[in-house]
Structure 1
């Protein structure tokens, strides 16, 4: 049995909590993750990112006819490929695609789209139909089944508030703002036996998870350091932390963070340029960090927003729309473009028609990267082909 199969099998039967004896380190590279090799990193663009000004149909005259105030000149877009190109602020996205490490999935959305920020984010985070509601997130449901009990650091959310996507029946994820300060000392009641009160027991379980998670996170940070230069922005800092935890073999299955500021109803050109620059620079530093550590093949980065924007501008910006591109970086993706170019001549009441359901992307991630049967968490869509 080769090293990868042996470690995957062993990790499965220990719930992913495995201390390796020294002789096992003789197998293969020291730079690959030891247990649960693959992980997913989600970067959520809050506010509804304008996909048409992110990955641009620069050869389509309707793009310029419908966006007389905010269309980007075809002479400044970059990474031109089959009539599509990146916003000039995404120069490193173009470079990552040139390197074969970035796939664009076009026209991603869902049936009967909702234009409310909160509700559409909830749909993406629970992976249910737009007319259904669920209290547990799709990643939380996955972790409930994957962890066989609970594993405090199976999911890490870098934010100041919890994320519904990671919410499950068990406390398998931790939300934290600054991992370096996430140090929790056990209280005097840590050995108190469970009571007949399930609510109290659940609170105690969460408390114990935080203590265990704190120790694991601090141990991972001790085993890693930052080896590339990151910009001084909030997203960059979060991705730098994630890189440290991955390199320190925390072995979390899922990492989640977000970037605000994409609700560009007004003053879009300058606002969007700033936000895309922040996104580009942070992600490229993260990409370089993982690549230098020879871990990019183990980490799949998913960039998405809750919806795109209207095709026609509103004079100085864009209003809430529907379908938009997703970007997949790393994880041995095929570095291609999936889906047809946006059809600006066939709109649904002024909005793009979605071509690929976002749950098909989730299905691909779970099947190909996590070796998990996506139907077990209620996803019925077939995986996107050609992604990995």
Structure 2
């Protein structure tokens, strides 16, 4: 039995429509908002009056109208509240503070030892970075903290097999150090949402964002909605098998795509053919991309073959209009091998789905997982018409 909509539900829905129109588009007049949202002029005026009274919407100048008074333009107030985005990477934790329109105000990078990846250490670094950034930015009102993590998030617990996390209570540990609302999701999903909102995925309802770093994952956007699967574990593209009984993967299986195109696997192969490779992973990958020797070319060619095969699988499975390659390693590698990746994908993908899909690089840079994480509290805020979550509700 469907619950009957109340006046409060309708008002919240109207607020959400107006807020989203102002958030994702240029400043608009009341008249333009009526056309964009499908609401009546009277409804728009009532909603805008509430949002201005709440401090959520402010005037943004005027525009001339045809024969009448100039129209007042409106926009979301960036200073209404701050949001925080956190990228729990495999070599560092990045914490960034943004205003409500996601302009960066402060950031802190806290290195992690890849071989000592304990949830307690991660929690300490997140809280330390949060404290530093809030002090540096001087913000006093925070809407929420979004956190992109490796692995799947289910009922506040993180399952990340490649780093040895099996249902770890990261959220509960963070709750000991902050009472801010927390939003956890897989890092590939947060990257996908950032690109869908502001980057290469904008304007399409069906896209796959391929995150290539030390590990490999994917965010799948289907019908304009991020697809998470039954328990949040969708998008583990890096652990699809591309070689039966192939190279060992960190997850314990063999032949996973991650073992062939993840930064760790690529750098290991480079070190096997050169003795002067830098010790630090990112520096090693950058050296490979810059290396014009035949042995480096062979490593890159093999990486392109497997990346193209993996992307072809994504195209055949999801029929996206865009495949967007991101992550720090994906952007480094893509600058050198993207054309080869496209050619390999064309060889393996079904012809018609491949013709309909573009393969491109992320537009928001290598650190957009944190930006995407910051969209998590904003997305909930917009969806409910600008109502604040007062307490955390996701601690199991």
Structure richer in helix, relative to its length:
2
User: Which TM-score band applies after superposition, normalised by the shorter structure?
Assistant: under 0.3
Structure ID, larger Rg? 2
What is the TM-score of this pair, normalised by structure 2?
0.25
Structure richer in strand, relative to its length:
2
